[in-house]
Amino acid sequence: MTNSAKLNRAMRLHRSSTSNKQKVQPITKVVKNDENSVNLSLASITSNLHDISTPNRPISSDLAYNSWVVEHPSALGSFDQMMKAAKGKRMVVFLDYDGTLSPIVDDPDRAFMSDEMRAAVREVAKYFPTAVISGRSRDKLKGFVQLSNVYYAGSHGMDIMIPPRPLKPCDGKNHTTAMDKKASDVLFQPAKRFLPAIQEIRTLLEEITRKIEGARVEDNRFCLSVHFRKVQDEDYDILEAKVKSVLENYPEFHLTFGKKVLEVRPSIEWNKGHALEYLLDTLGFSNSSDVLPLYIGDDRTDEDAFKVIRSRGLGFPIIVSSTPKDTKACYSLQDPSEVLTFLLRIARWRKASSSSRSLAQIWGPGNSPRSVN
């Protein structure tokens, strides 16, 4: 089978696998650049991929993963096509924390991001409005990330702090999140009325987890996480049953399942997808057809944000996973190390684009200075 035939077959698989999902509408607006005018969309990028493998990485022998990557191509291998679509648009970056900016670890209190990752996020935030959305409490999230030029949304978006002056698109040189010292931050907490009940539940959960070795409760303010990564397999069913028994007396709460964690959350219509929409709206981007949200996450809670991006018909939903999984994401990265590489690349791309525009403004199109031999 020729490479062309393989690619056509892969794209047919992609279309059939997504036929029952919410379709991404193509962009009909023509995007102009320095060379010509092109009509680009999320769908057209996917259907025109030639290199869907991550550079400098051995080809996996896992056939299931290889098939999955055809449907969710590497964001690194697809980088040029993605940035071609982003040209002339305003990108807004959203990042999950655990499993995306930091590795998944046994002790959730030690899920530290590397200095290299922090530097990469800081660099990205110089050029694009950037937010970190996590199930962690907002204060704990800020303690891990330690950056002042990003927005923070904790408790799966139920605790959002916005400086009074929203971020504005810029040339990368003047892009900061400096706050107006005379005004107050905008605090958005849609589940605030549940705080007393959350503390009651926390006390009850701490009582039951003390009797199960390896279990622990993490207070994320507007949600509670029961970690069981260190729990023996034979004890898990007991733990889950006990957590469910606690919630029987709190009908306004429900249980969700993450990576080795049970999460108790208020039953309100709010998730990471709503948080993404709220941030876009608050930052003044909700009604702009030239805004391109990019979201990178690894957990099922990030799927709500992926769905929002797909419904917009424009943007880059990227799943972080080294194994096949059902997802609404269109692209993939294997692990936080690939996330680091991708973030550095988009920062360099934006910096180079800014430099090119600056030179064109100074010298005029086609008149930039050339080196003299």
pLDDT in tens, 77-102: 999 999 999 999 999 999 999 999 99
Query: According to the model, what pLDDT value does residue 373 have?
Result: 33
- Please compute Rg for the chain using Cα positions: 22
Q: What is the spatial distance between Cα 216 and Cα 214, in angstroms, rounded to a whole number?
A: 7
Location of structure tokens 């810029």: 170
Q: What is the spatial distance between Cα 23 and Cα 43, in angstroms, rounded to a whole number?
A: 9
pLDDT band at 357 (very low <50, low <70, confident <90, very high): low
Q: Tell whether the model's pLDDT for residue 19 goes beyond 70.
A: no
pLDDT digits 0-9 by tens, 283-326:
888 878 899 999 999 999 999 999 999 999 999 999 999 999 99
Q: Write out the two tokens for 173.
A: 């040189």
Q: What is the spatial distance between Cα 342 and Cα 337, in angstroms, rounded to a whole number?
A: 9
Query: According to the model, what pLDDT value does residue 185 have?
Result: 74
Select the more confidently predicted residue: 3 or 269.
Answer: 269
Query: According to the model, what pLDDT value does residue 176 have?
Result: 33
pLDDT band at 353 (very low <50, low <70, confident <90, very high): confident
- On whether the CB atoms of residues 307 and 18 are closer than 8 A, the answer is no
Q: What is the spatial distance between Cα 73 and Cα 52, in angstroms, rounded to a whole number?
A: 5
- On whether the CB atoms of residues 318 and 305 are closer than 8 A, the answer is no
pLDDT band at 366 (very low <50, low <70, confident <90, very high): very low
Q: Would you report the helix, strand and coil content of the chain in percent, each value rounded to 5?
A: 40, 15, 45
Q: How many CB atoms lie within 10 A of CB 294?
A: 23
Which of 188-222 are b and which e, b meaning 16 or more Cβ less than 10 Å from the residue's Cβ?
Answer: bbbbeebeeebeebbebbeebbeebeebbbbebbb
pLDDT digits 0-9 by tens, 253-272:
999 998 899 999 999 999 99
Average pLDDT along the chain: 80
Q: Tell whether the model's pLDDT for residue 342 goes beyond 50.
A: yes
AA letter at 119: A
Share of the chain above pLDDT 70, in %: 73
Q: Tell whether the model's pLDDT for residue 231 goes beyond 80.
A: yes
Query: According to the model, what pLDDT value does residue 206 have?
Result: 97
| Domain covering 192-266 in this structure, CATH number | 3.30.70.1020
CATH class of 3-181+270-363: alpha beta
The SS3 call for residue 87 is coil
Strands 316-320 and 261-266 turn out to be unpaired
Q: Which secondary structure element, helix H or strand E, spans residue 285, and what is its range? A: none
Q: Tell whether the model's pLDDT for residue 358 goes beyond 90.
A: no
Q: What is the spatial distance between Cα 57 and Cα 78, in angstroms, rounded to a whole number?
A: 14
Select the more confidently predicted residue: 282 or 77.
Answer: 77
Q: What is the spatial distance between Cα 305 and Cα 317, in angstroms, rounded to a whole number?
A: 8
Q: Which secondary structure element, helix H or strand E, spans residue 354, and what is its range? A: helix 336-363
Q: Write out the two tokens for 279.
A: 């941030």
How many angstroms separate the most distant Cα atoms in the chain?
80
Handedness of CA 131, 135, 136, 138 (dihedral sign): positive
Q: How many CB atoms lie within 10 A of CB 226?
A: 25
pLDDT digits 0-9 by tens, 23-61:
333 222 323 333 333 333 334 433 443 333 344 444 445
Residues forming CATH 3.40.50.1000 domain(s) in the chain: 3-181+270-363
Q: How many CB atoms lie within 10 A of CB 12?
A: 10
Residues forming CATH 3.30.70.1020 domain(s) in the chain: 192-266
Q: Which secondary structure element, helix H or strand E, spans residue 281, and what is its range? A: helix 272-282
